[in-house]
Amino acid sequence: MDDLSGASLGQFSLTLIDGCVVATIQSDLHDEVFRRFSENVLAKIEQTRAGALLLDLSNVYVLDPRDFESIRKIMRMTGLMGARSILVGLRPGVAASLAELNADLTGVTAMGSVEQALQAIRGR
């Protein structure tokens, strides 16, 4: 396991596990954080030639539709770089509110935990 920093900001951390970039988000993704976050993530994917990005949201308790749109953008960018992306560990409250707001989930893959996601990727 290899800390890839960004963690100094306390808002997100990036870790490489089994050839996957695991991005753990610690707080709200308002515009400025989001830009830095996406730049960091995409750079790590390029550096490590990771095949997948796991977006770990298990510490996120509130996610509004705009935040979700931002996350979907990162997922699309990751896709353009040839890596797959998986949402991981969404909390029940967050999942319920996104569903209530009828968030568009086309093409979104989600998994319960980082372990499950890694297992699924290995299984391929």
Residues that bind another protein (CB under 8 A): 87-88, 90-92, 94-96, 98-100, 102-106, 108, 110-113, 116-117, 123
Of residues 35 and 73, the one with the C-beta less far from another protein: 73
- Between residues 62 and 96, which has the closer beta carbon with respect to another protein? 96
Return all residues near 2 (Cβ < 8 A) that are at least 6 apart. 15, 16
The answer to whether residues 88 and 111 touch, using CB atoms and an 8 Å cutoff, is yes
Give least dist CB 98 to another protein, A.
6
- Residue closer to another protein by CB (options 4, 60) is 60
- What's the closest the beta carbon of residue 31 comes to another protein, in angstroms? 23
CB of 83 to another protein, least distance (A): 19
3-state secondary structure of 35: helix
Residue 111: CB minimum distance to another protein, A: 4
How do the residues of the chain divide into helix, strand and coil, expressed in percent and rounded to 5? 45, 20, 35
Helix (H) or strand (E) holding 37: helix 31-48
